[in-house]
Structure 1
């Protein structure tokens, strides 16, 4: 146990383990999914609420898994410059964090029972894949985050699937009977996929900032994140490319007859995004990138709210 453990209460330690600053990554896809559902006149409040609770639980469970597995595998060390990890620092015993991880994923599955009732077999498949991937991100014989697949995992599960799934359960609850075995028409569309891309992109950038900050420590520990594999320059290019995608989609929507000019509302966040980008292009220290990590989460939240509002006007 290091000195950090003597200054932190148990409640504070569990909050640190849950990482509430990452919850925008759970809320943002639900917000956009609701905005798109309102645009399509398919809004259903109970499925939307259940989707948010399930997404938040999967996010927290993934955080517990990352904290636990990175500690027991020796990835997290005292040299790490990021936010305090409770397992590595001795704030919470490893077995307790592990039990919390499984308990949180179990709660997500319980919430998922209702979503399966509404959305049927497709939601069952998506839900189980999300839980398994959340554990496999840092654990198991082939941890995704340690083999350069973390960015893809976040893009797909916390972006594309989360947004489209939120829209799907709302639309399915209105157009079809419970316990579906197939996907009803109009519930999975190309427009819904495009609407998911900004959330997917900025959610991925949260991980990019995290991995650029931890690049040297991860390299020493043998954790092959995408940032370790491609280096600082390409990681910064990935960050800029993801940001560009998050603004190109609203611009494209504005050129179509289906949406009004209000869909351009996310562009008000460009100056804030530019500020974060300047830090990303010039800094590598935890002192600089820890604030940038929180700022990217805030960017995700504000961008999602603006995009959702823009789609409904």
Structure 2
């Protein structure tokens, strides 16, 4: 019947829009960060002579992806319902996907998708708890707290807001996942985790620079607001350079193999980024983030390449 066919087409179209919007709100181009970080848990286990099974490694990578997607989905939903989306100038690296302002009716579906991703993380976390014992409960509870509290609570506490992304992608995804896979604490994983801990916190701080004014008006109080663009950009530069300094220091201390120095192939780009950020003007126009974009793009590329090189170094040393 024509009426029923029309209803079915409308329902199918609505479902497609919902799925597409949820997918975009998860920010898939950025989700590659999670497996690179969790990959360090696997490659550090290989280096320590404890090769995890394929299924175990896959579950750890899936949990990392779901946790990252959950954070992004919660962030998109919160920014939409709080009105922040209406005042933000979007860039490829900040301001969200812009999907919910185009499809406001999907907001509740995005929230449900965030909780579904979180449920997947909990399910895999229960497996980790069964496999590696009660210590995994500490990692799990801290990880859950970071996922749920980041956008609505931690963004109002400057230093916690700076530390939280690095702790999530560094300490929890590398050290915690390594312990889930091997059942033991690893100094190699801890040393390797310092790189994403520093660089991911630097990435999030840099990506807050274009949003200082909108975030301030929305009641946020992160470190970019407290320090201002120039000093916040310089802190990003320091964190990035510190991440590169970790590698030779950890090698000298016997915690990382010499092959980890492969990451230093990206050192010229890190130096270029640090100099560019250090020279950033004191004021960045809220309506014109264009001067920041080359440095934000380089920061993202540097993070991904550095983690890939570090993973490769640990794998070659295994």
TM (norm. structure 2) is 0.82
Equivalent residue, structure 1, for 2:109: 96
Is this contact kept in 1: 2:171–2:193, CA < 8 A?
A: yes
Residues 292 and 24 of structure 1, relative CA distance in 2, 3 Å threshold: farther
Determine the C-alpha separation between the residues in 2 that align with 1:218 and 1:93.
23
1:35 and 2:46 aligned: no
- Equivalent residue for 1:306? 309
**Hey, what's the Cα distance between the residues in 2 that align with 1:258 and 1:128?**
27
Offset at residue 75 of structure 1 (A): 2.6
Q: Does structure 1 residue 243 correspond to structure 2 residue 240?
A: yes
- Does structure 1 conserve the Cα–Cα contact (< 8 Å) formed by 2:247 and 2:256? no
The structure whose RCO (Cα within 8 Å, separation 6+) is larger is 1
* Matched-pair contact (CA < 8 Å) for 1:30–1:166: yes
**Superimposed CA distance per residue, residues 179-227 of structure 1 (whole angstroms, 9 cap, x where no aligned partner):** xxxxxxxx22444322210011111122012111211221222211111
1:192 equivalent in alignment to 2:195: no
1:110-161 deviation per Cα after TM superposition (whole angstroms, max 9, x unaligned): 222222221222223322331232111123xxx1123222221112121112
CA 1:128–1:257: 2 relative to 1, 3 Å: closer
In 1, distance between residues paired with 2:232 and 2:190?
25
In the alignment, the residues of structure 1 paired with residue 61 and residue 290 of structure 2 have an alpha-carbon distance, to the nearest angstrom, of 32
Q: 1:103, 1:302 → 2: CA distance?
A: 30
2:165 maps to which of 154, 162, 165: 154
Question: What is the deviation of 1:259?
Answer: 4.8
Instruction: Tell which structure's C-alpha radius of gyration is larger.
Output: 2
Distance in 2 (CA, whole Å) between partners of 1:18 and 1:290 is 22
Q: In structure 2, how many angstroms separate the alpha carbons of the residues matched to 1:18 and 1:116?
A: 27
Aligned pairs (5 A) from 1:118-133:
118-133=131-146
| Equivalent pairs, count | 289
Structure 1 residue 83: Cα displacement: 4.2
Instruction: Give the Cα–Cα distance (whole angstroms) in 2 for the partners of residues 294 and 18 of structure 1.
Output: 19
* Separation in 1, partners of 2:105, 2:150: 21
Q: Which runs of 5+ in 1 are unaligned?
A: 1-7, 173-186
Unmatched 5+ residue regions in structure 2?
1-15
**Which whole-Å CA distance do the structure 1 matches of 2:300 and 2:66 have between them?**
17
The TM-score with structure 1 as length reference comes to 0.83
Question: Of 261, 266, 270, which aligns to 1:264?
Answer: 261
Aligned positions of 1:129-208 closer than 5 A: 129-139=142-152, 143-148=153-158, 149-172=160-183, 187-208=184-205
Shift of the alpha carbon at 1:25? Answer: 2.9
C-alpha displacement of 1:309? 2.3
Which residue of structure 2 lines up, in the alignment, with residue 232 of structure 1? 229
The answer as to whether partners of 1:21 and 1:297 remain within 8 angstroms in 2 is no
